[in-house]
């Protein structure tokens, strides 16, 4: 049995795109606060470069030792808005410091250029948010996120309005780089503090000083399992297959997390159970749904299939590790998923259907390319709708849309690498300015008053 399972894992890696998507080191910068922003940046650079000096090497060594691809090595840090509140300097200095750290260490991304404003702006929050377009335009490895709502606090509609403008500016300032700035920015509701996946990763204030989080990826493995299954299997039997497969995938993540923790002498945090796709053929969440019997992802029944997939992945994963966290479930980033790309190109998968799917998936409207002429208020409306789904359902939702400046519906925007490519999707451009301009807060739902 052990030999059979080892051979199964080898096949998963060699033929079915199984990998450890990321090892992410979370680092607290609370002790790097200083009224002098230059001294604060010096402390940050010293701390990050000391703690993470072996991160890339350890990830590569684990890959060689176990034959398991470790695709990305990343760092997440304390939300930078908290440091801005102390230093009162230009927040972009912090972004440039994080970029220097990323380049020195050779990591793929560094996240945490973030602000948590679900209940209002604290000192430093607004300054950081307004600096995001410039910060992302001047850096290659820095990612940003803003949490605008939660089940407990409701939705900060002033922040929602602001983020519509920020997203648009991020695209405009990086128009010469395929509007990449907006692809490195996520707007959250109920953001988790231990998420290892970019662009939304940050190191929450409730976390230890330094930890290791692991994100596993295996949509290709789940798809291959279902492709070999009897086409007459009932849906509950399909769910059992997915659970058993998720167990094997997660067990590998637990192994890598423990090993990285030991070699780096840093506490192990969590395994994120998410199925994170790539543009590689076969490594697609959409293809999993199609193996369940849908001709194309986006057909009626898609949301039901995705709900079952998400639940089965979590049920199987929690049996393999006691340290579950992050987002955990199935990601549906359009430009990063070959099946999603095909479904949008053929017109089967629309923004409205994607929004329905976000009620049951692990994140939200992710890596969706929209026309560059889309107004700031329409973008804010997309953010508000998605935040409402997260708030009412007590789940994490997020928006990462990219206004493709100068491009029209059907044009292609290509980011390269894991971010992939995708067509500009047609969206509803009906004006909503009056509602967005009201500002204020959407109150939290009654279910939040549990304590």
Q: What is the pLDDT of residues 52-77, one digit of tens each?
A: 999 999 999 988 888 888 888 999 99
Contact 217, 280 (CB under 8 A): no
Is 441 part of any domain? yes
Structural domain ending residue among the three candidates 171, 189, 207: 189
Higher pLDDT pick, 83 / 274: 83
Give dist(CA 342, CA 319) in Å, integer.
34
pLDDT for res 278: 72
Q: Both 164 and 242 in a single domain?
A: no
Q: Give residue 232's domain range.
A: 215-448
Q: Both 255 and 336 in a single domain?
A: yes
Q: What is the pLDDT of residues 286-307, one digit of tens each?
A: 999 999 999 999 999 999 999 9
Number of domains in the chain: 2
CATH number at residue 287: 3.20.70.20
Q: Both 248 and 140 in a single domain?
A: no
Is 203 part of any domain? no
| Of 428, 442, 277, nearest in space to 366 by CA | 277
Length of the chain: 451
Give 237-298 as a 3 state SS string: HHHHHHHHHHHHHHHHHHHHHHHHHHHHCCCEEEEECCECCCCCCCCCHHHHHHHCCCCCCC
pLDDT at 246 over 60: yes
Q: Both 222 and 363 in a single domain?
A: yes
Q: Both 299 and 341 in a single domain?
A: yes
Mean pLDDT, range 198-227, rounded to an integer: 87
Q: Both 102 and 161 in a single domain?
A: yes
Q: Average pLDDT over the chain, rounded to whole?
A: 88
Is 8 part of any domain? no
Q: Both 334 and 413 in a single domain?
A: yes
Measured CA distances, 138 to 146, 202, 307, 395 (Å): 19, 20, 39, 33
pLDDT for res 56: 93
Q: Both 440 and 300 in a single domain?
A: yes
Contact 327, 270 (CB under 8 A): no
pLDDT at 403 over 90: yes
**Angle formed by the axes of helices 235-264 and 55-66, to 10°?**
120
Q: Both 246 and 383 in a single domain?
A: yes
Q: Both 173 and 253 in a single domain?
A: no
Q: Both 239 and 372 in a single domain?
A: yes
pLDDT for res 29: 95
Is 205 part of any domain? no
Is 195 part of any domain? no
Structural domain ending residue among the three candidates 174, 189, 204: 189
Q: Both 248 and 184 in a single domain?
A: no
Is 170 part of any domain? yes
Structural domain ending residue among the three candidates 173, 189, 205: 189
Give dist(CA 425, CA 387) in Å, integer.
21
Is 371 part of any domain? yes
Mean pLDDT, range 102-120, rounded to an integer: 94
Q: With pLDDT > 90 as the criterion, what percentage of the chain qualifies?
A: 59
pLDDT at 450 over 80: no
Residue 10: pLDDT band with limits 50, 70, 90:
low
Q: With pLDDT > 70 as the criterion, what percentage of the chain qualifies?
A: 94
Residue 388: pLDDT band with limits 50, 70, 90:
very high
pLDDT for res 200: 87
Is 13 part of any domain? no
Provide the token pair at 383: 């953010």
Give residues with Cβ within 8 angstroms of 435, minimum separation 6: 381
pLDDT for res 217: 77
Cα radius of gyration rounded to whole Å, the chain: 21
pLDDT for res 1: 41
């Amino acid at each position: 049995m052990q030999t059979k399972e080892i051979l199964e894992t080898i096949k998963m890696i060699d033929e079915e795109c199984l990998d450890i998507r990321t090892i992410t080191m979370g680092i607290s910068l609370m002790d790097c606060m200083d009224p002098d922003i230059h001294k604060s940046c010096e402390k940050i650079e010293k701390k990050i470069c000391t703690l993470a000096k072996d991160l890339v090497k350890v990830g590569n060594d684990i890959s060689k030792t176990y034959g398991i691809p470790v695709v990305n090595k990343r760092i997440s840090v304390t939300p930078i808005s908290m440091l801005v509140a102390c230093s009162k300097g230009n927040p972009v200095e912090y972004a440039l410091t994080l970029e220097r750290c990323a380049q020195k260490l050779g990591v793929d991304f560094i996240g945490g250029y973030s602000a948590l404003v679900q209940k209002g702006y604290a000192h430093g929050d607004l300054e950081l948010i307004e600096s995001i377009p410039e910060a992302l335009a001047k850096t290659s490895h820095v990612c940003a996120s803003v949490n605008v709502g939660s089940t407990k606090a409701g939705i900060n509609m002033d922040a929602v309005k602001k983020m519509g403008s920020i997203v648009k500016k991020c695209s405009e300032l990086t128009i010469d780089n395929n509007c990449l700035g907006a692809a490195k920015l996520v707007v959250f509701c109920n953001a988790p503090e231990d998420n290892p996946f970019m662009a939304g990763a940050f190191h929450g204030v409730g976390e230890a000083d330094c930890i290791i989080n692991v994100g596993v990826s295996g949509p290709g493995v789940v798809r291959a399992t279902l492709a070999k299954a009897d086409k007459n299997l009932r849906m509950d039997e399909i769910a059992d297959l997915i659970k058993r497969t998720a167990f094997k995938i997660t067990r590998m993540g637990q192994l890598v997390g423990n090993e990285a923790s030991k070699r780096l002498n840093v506490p192990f945090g969590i395994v994120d159970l998410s199925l994170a796709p790539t543009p590689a053929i076969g490594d697609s969440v959409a293809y999993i749904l199609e193996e369940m019997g849908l001709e194309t992802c986006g057909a009626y029944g898609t949301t039901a299939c995705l709900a079952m997939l998400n639940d089965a992945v979590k049920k199987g994963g929690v049996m393999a590790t006691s340290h579950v966290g992050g987002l955990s479930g199935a990601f549906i980033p359009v430009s990063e998923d070959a099946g999603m790309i095909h479904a949008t190109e053929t017109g089967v998968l629309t923004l409205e259907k994607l929004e329905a799917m976000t009620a049951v998936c692990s994140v939200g409207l992710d890596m969706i390319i929209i026309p560059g002429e889309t107004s700031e208020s329409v973008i804010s409306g997309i953010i508000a709708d998605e935040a409402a789904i997260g708030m009412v359902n007590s789940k994490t939702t997020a928006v990462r849309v990219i206004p493709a400046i100068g491009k029209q519906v059907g044009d292609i925007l290509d980011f390269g690498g894991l971010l992939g490519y995708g067509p500009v999707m047609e969206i509803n451009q009906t004006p909503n300015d009056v509602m967005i301009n009201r500002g204020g807060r959407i109150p939290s739902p009654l279910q939040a008053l549990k304590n």
